[in-house]
Amino acid sequence: VISIVFYIFQLYAEKVTNRGLCAVAQCESLRYKLVGGLAVRRACYGVLRFIMESNAQGCEVIVSGKLRGQRAKSMKFVDGLMIHSGQPVNDYIQQAVRHVQLRQGVLGIKVKIMLPHDPKGNMGPRVALPDQIHIQEPNEAPNPLHPESEHKQEKKDLLQSMSGQMPQLPPY
């Protein structure tokens, strides 16, 4: 007895809202530029500029492998602000790694993008960075002409209101 089981798969694809802030899209873009024969430095600076023009807080592109000649080396391109530790890394940093097969060997590509803060949560995380401080403006209250104590004034009012109801006590 042979039983055949059929599985039905549904695939959903959604367009990226801002491809300049998507690390996967930029990593693939860099990959296709390198396969097309563009120089590594020129391709990386083009991707870096496009990411920063998309209002990213920071960006880091690392390409490693046999760039020129037989000796492998790594090139790092950095712009803007990039955080490396703590919980905000999980919220603010998008990271993608891709490999590209060239004639000389395999190149590794790593793209890290630090997203901007967005209170609505459309373009970046809603949560602000913990080191950002918001100072509120002070209330504009008119300055009093002469200082007075609230407690003494309340006691005076209380004594004046009670003076008609209770007999006066002799002072000590």
Using pLDDT thresholds of 50, 70 and 90, give the confidence band for residue 143: confident
Q: Checking DSSP bridges between strand 106-114 and strand 93-101, what pairing results, if any?
A: antiparallel
pLDDT of 107 over the 90 cut: yes
- Secondary structure letter of residue 57 according to DSSP: S
pLDDT of 92 over the 90 cut: yes
pLDDT of 53 over the 70 cut: yes
pLDDT of 99 over the 80 cut: yes
The residue with greater pLDDT, 15 or 96, is 96
Which is it for the CA torsion 164, 167, 170, 172, positive or negative? Answer: negative
Share of the chain above pLDDT 90, in %: 59
Domains of the chain: 19-114 (3.30.1140.32)
- Cα 81 from Cα 51, distance rounded (Å): 13
**Lowest model confidence (mean pLDDT) among 97-101, 108-112, 118-122:** 118-122
pLDDT at 160: 74
The residue with greater pLDDT, 96 or 134, is 96
- 14 to 5, 18, 27, 132, 170: CA distances (angstroms): 29, 12, 18, 33, 87
Tokens of 168: 């006066």
Share of the chain above pLDDT 70, in %: 88
At which residue do the structure tokens 């003076």 appear?
A: 163
pLDDT at 172: 62
Name the 3-class secondary structure at 117: coil
Tokens of 43: 């391709």
